Chains A and B, each alone.
Chain A
Amino acid sequence: MTSPIETDVVIIGAGPVGLFAVFELGLYDLKCHLIDILDRPGGQCAELYPEKPIYDIPAWPEISGQELTSKLMEQIAPFSPQFHFNRMVTGFRKLENGRFEVETDEGELFHAHAVVIAAGGGSFQPKRPPVPGIEAYEGKSVFYSVRRMEEFRDKDLLIVGGGDSALDWTLNLQPVAKSVTLVHRRPEFRAAPDSVNKMFAMREEGKIKFEVGQVTGLKGENGQLEGATIKGPDGEVEVACNRMLPFFGLTMKLGPIADWGLNQHENLIKVDTEKFETSIPGVFAIGDINWYPGKLKLILSGFHEAALMTQAVKRLAHPGEKMVFQYTTSSTSLQKKLGVQ
């Protein structure tokens, strides 16, 4: 059992709103740990539209998702936030001393005065292809990621998709697997041209098969895959396989947070508009994941919510202390914290 990480606030989600919350909380000396399922900060800004311009960030007539993320990282650096990437928050409970415990799927425990859910549209998870009955095979013979290559040794492997994940794993698992069949709905790929060339070369040498089409059916028993039906331009073909790796990108799901017992409104977390607190006192929700009458899913709304949430968290973490509201432009103590004094 690892000993829990003690901190002031755990922020779930490292998108723009989660990042800015570090700044607001930092001004009041509240230390933060952030947990995100992605491997880098930025959330949707990094994952969905890093290159796309955003036009409604105050004072930025135009800024890309990636630039916004970088600027926020620069802005919060003085507060030394601790990031925990590639993790999903699974467990949550209130401790007897009034603090909260948050657990990740990697088994880490965090203890904090407050939990701030800034999870946007939810956690990014692999998309499931609409193949009837695929659920029965998941985790047994259908996998959405490769944790250990050995699991695919001497297997007849079906890889589905046309991006870098599909191509990379085709190339890397070919020497390990008994056979590899790559399926993609068209002969063009989104992957790095070098990988695509290597894949076609392997096909020329007879090392792998490549089928143009979409998987429409699976057969097998007790979760053990035996074959797949592929519908292509020239009709259907059957491919024998006992492992399948579909790579269809990511989608967003609320995930385990849905089971925390928080009041919800159409898959969003209900909060008040004074503190952005959920139905569990001490648990806050800010940004796209929350709902209140009049809610707008704008990054700037999330920034505002972070500032107001901070006031409540400060009172919670240091009850009885007088709240002194200060401006960063004029307060020497805030400027010291920001490292500009």
Chain B
Amino acid sequence: MTKITLVAFDGTRFDVDAENGSTVMENAIRNSVPGIEAECGGACACATCHVYVDDVWAETVGAPEAMEEDMLDFAFDVRPTSRLSCQIKVRDELDGLVVHVPERQA
């Protein structure tokens, strides 16, 4: 298990034991983190699971691939560390990861 933290827009922290290989979005949904809608269910097709990766983690998590970058065009208030949480797979080196949920998705 890898520990990750999702911070809701109101500041509430959700500390989650995430299975390696699962996506950050799946963990957000399982733990009812408010603000993650994931309308398309993880198909990288809707941009409603947008998160900001905490600055200190941005490099480790890495940049989005081309398709995800395209989908981010539909997200709002996109910032340099913006990612779609359905495209971040939990792995050992993300132990301690922190992501922030934006004010709104769509």
Question: Within 8 Å CB of B63, what residues of A?
Answer: none
**Other contacts beyond A186-B69, A186-B73, A214-B78: 5, CB < 8 A:** A49-B40, A121-B39, A248-B73, A249-B73, A251-B48
**A190 touches which of B45, B73, B78, B106 (Cβ 8 Å):** B73
Q: Answer whether residue B77 sits at the interface, using C-beta atoms and an 8 A cutoff.
A: yes
27 cross-chain CB contacts under 8 A: A48-B40, A48-B43, A49-B43, A49-B45, A52-B43, A121-B39, A127-B74, A127-B106, A128-B106, A129-B76, A130-B76, A130-B103, A162-B73, A184-B73, A185-B78, A186-B73, A188-B69, A190-B70, A214-B78, A248-B73, A248-B74, A249-B47, A249-B73, A251-B39, A251-B46, A251-B106, A252-B39
Confirm or deny: A18 has a beta carbon within 8 angstroms of a beta carbon on chain B.
no
* Interface of chain B: mostly helix, strand, loop or mixed: loop
Q: Indicate whether B3 reaches chain A with its CB closer than 8 angstroms.
A: no
Question: Majority SS of interface residues in chain A?
Answer: loop
Q: Whole-angstrom distance between the alpha carbons of A185 and B45 in the complex? A: 18
Residues of B within 8 A of A127 (CB): 74, 106
Cα(A293)–Cα(B21), bound, Å? 31
List the B side residues contacting A121 at CB < 8 Å: 39
- A163 interface hit (Cβ, 8 Å): yes
Closest Cβ neighbor of A161 among chain B residues: B73
Size range of the chain A interface in the assembly: 20 to 34
Chain B residues 34-52 with CB under 8 Å of chain A are: 39-40, 43, 45-48
* Contact status of A48 and B46, CB under 8 A, knowing A127-B106, A185-B78: yes
Chain A residues with Cβ under 8 A from B89's Cβ?
none
| Chain A 48-73 near chain B by CB (<8 Å), digits 1 or 0 | 11001000000000000000000000
0 or 1 for each of A21-57: is its CB under 8 Å from B? (1 = yes): 0000000000000000000000010001100100000
**Would you give the 0/1 interface string for A205-222, flagging 1 where the beta carbon is closer than 8 Å to chain B?**
000000000100000000
Q: How many residues of B contact A (CB 8 A)?
A: 17
A162 partner residues in chain B, CB cutoff 8 A: 73
Task: Say whether A52 contacts B45, CB under 8 Å.
Answer: yes
**Whole-angstrom distance from the CB of B41 to the nearest CB of chain A?**
8
Is the C-beta of B91 less than 8 angstroms from some C-beta in chain A? no
State the CA gap A188–B63 with chains docked (Å): 15
Q: Whole-angstrom distance between the alpha carbons of A248 and B46 in the complex?
A: 11
Residues of chain B within 8 A (CB-CB) of A251 are: 39, 46, 48, 106
B77 engages A48 (CB within 8 Å): no
Q: Are A130 and B104 in contact (CB under 8 A)?
A: yes
Cβ distance A98 to chain B, nearest Cβ, rounded Å: 37
**How distant is B42 from chain A, measured CB to nearest CB, in Å?**
10
| Residues in A whose Cβ lies below 8 Å from that of B77 | 130, 214
Q: Which of B39, B43, B73 is within 8 Å of A185, CB to CB?
A: B73
Residues of chain B with a CB closer than 8 A to A163's CB: 73
Docked CA distance A49–B77 (Å): 24
Tell me the residues in window 76-106 of chain B with beta carbons closer than 8 Å to chain A beta carbons.
76-78, 103-104, 106
Q: Contact at B74–A249, with CB atoms within 8 Å? A: yes
